[in-house]
Structure 1
Amino acid sequence: MIRIDCKTRWNSTFLLIEATIECKQVLMKLFSEKRSFNLRSEQVNRLITVELNNDEWDFLSSLRFVLNPFYHATTLMSGKNYPSIGLAFHAIHKLKHFCSKDDTYEEKIKQMKKLLLAKLNYYFYDDLEQHEHLENHSYFDPAAHLTLTENEKQRNERYIKDLILNDVYPQQSSTSDGSKASSSSNAISTSSTKSSIQLPQSL
């Protein structure tokens, strides 16, 4: 059974903001001409309560800018084709870089980035054991490998070497099998030697 996720589930807020901004001209015309329509006073008052001013439109634009990378990240990791751990690690790393980057003078955007960065750190980076586990298992993914710094790559290589040197993988059985095979071959060779020595006597 193929599992199909709803790609809009994680992005409903962003999509609502995007649609509102795209319809800005229509909405502004509706608000400005609301009294010219054949509406009841109750309907007119309701339109007045939801009418957006310039500051609110600016705030929506700032929200769209901040949530746009999260929209692309969640779209990347949604749907029936779920990503590898490396792709998820890469997306999380890019989101943290975006929230950490101070590339704007708008205070609203800075505050929103700061709030989102705190949540990213809480869920993915503050738990060092969890982060290292995620990083170690992302090492062989091409996207995640490009994301890692040289120090992180070296740390992962040491981790992999330690796994092998500490014999975490079942190499002991293969070594013992080799020893058994070697002892068996020695026994056969000894037996062959004895047989060759005893052969003339039997003849």
Structure 2
Amino acid sequence: MGLCLEVVTRWNSTFLMLESSLLYRCAYSSLEFEDKSYTNCPTNEEWDRGEKMCEFLHPFYQINELIFGSSYPTSNMHFMQVRKILCLLIQNVNNEDETIRNMTIDMKKKIDKY
């Protein structure tokens, strides 16, 4: 798997970046012990937040892949996936994680416009 950089306007890039980082959690921790000049290792709390964020974004990533990865997307497929997105947003409007909650509210505002 290659390096995934974040693109702020595309949350799926955030998911890919987090997913690839989480695979190397142990390596980052080992590097912290081996290389004293490495001082930016995420804390356990930051890793846990990354896992929560990854869990939150994963269904959105899957839906994005389904809709935009299809050569022949149909309206019934789009409708069902948009409905799933709306349900996921409603479920997370009161998420305990402030970042996820704020993302959810912002995403829901965009959907509510339509």
Report matched runs for 1:120-199 at 5 Å.
120-127=107-114
Structure number having the greater helix percentage: 1
Q: Report Cα offsets for 1:150-202 as digits up to 9, x if no partner.
A: xxxxxxxxxxxxxxxxxxxxxxxxxxxxxxxxxxxxxxxxxxxxxxxxxxxxx
The aligned residue for residue 143 of structure 1 is none
The aligned residue for residue 62 of structure 1 is 52
Larger radius of gyration: 1
The aligned residue for residue 4 of structure 2 is none
The percentage of counterpart residues that share the same residue type is: 22
The aligned residue for residue 90 of structure 1 is 80
Counterpart check, 1:51 vs 2:31: no
TM-score, normalisation: structure 2: 0.74
The 1:80/1:100 distance shift into structure 2, 3 A limit, reads closer
Structure 2: runs of 5 or more not aligned:
1-6
The aligned residue for residue 17 of structure 2 is 16
Counterpart check, 1:34 vs 2:23: no
Shift of 1:95: 1.5
Aligned partners of 2:53 and 2:100 also within 8 Å: no
Separation (CA, whole Å) in 2 of partners of 1:80 and 1:94: 17
**Equivalent pairs, count:** 104
Structure 1: runs of 5 or more not aligned:
1-8, 36-43, 128-203
The aligned residue for residue 96 of structure 2 is 107
Letter in 1 for 2:88: F
Aligned partners of 1:100 and 1:113 also within 8 Å: no
Aligned partners of 1:17 and 1:64 also within 8 Å: yes
Shift of 1:119: 3.3
Aligned partners of 1:96 and 1:117 also within 8 Å: no
Shift of 1:121: 3.2
Aligned partners of 2:89 and 2:107 also within 8 Å: no
What's the Cα RMSD here? Answer: 2.4
Q: Report Cα offsets for 1:87-112 as digits up to 9, x if no partner.
A: 1221121122122226x9x721xx34
Aligned partners of 2:89 and 2:108 also within 8 Å: no
Separation (CA, whole Å) in 2 of partners of 1:63 and 1:99: 14
The 1:88/1:101 distance shift into structure 2, 3 A limit, reads same
Shift of 1:65: 1.1
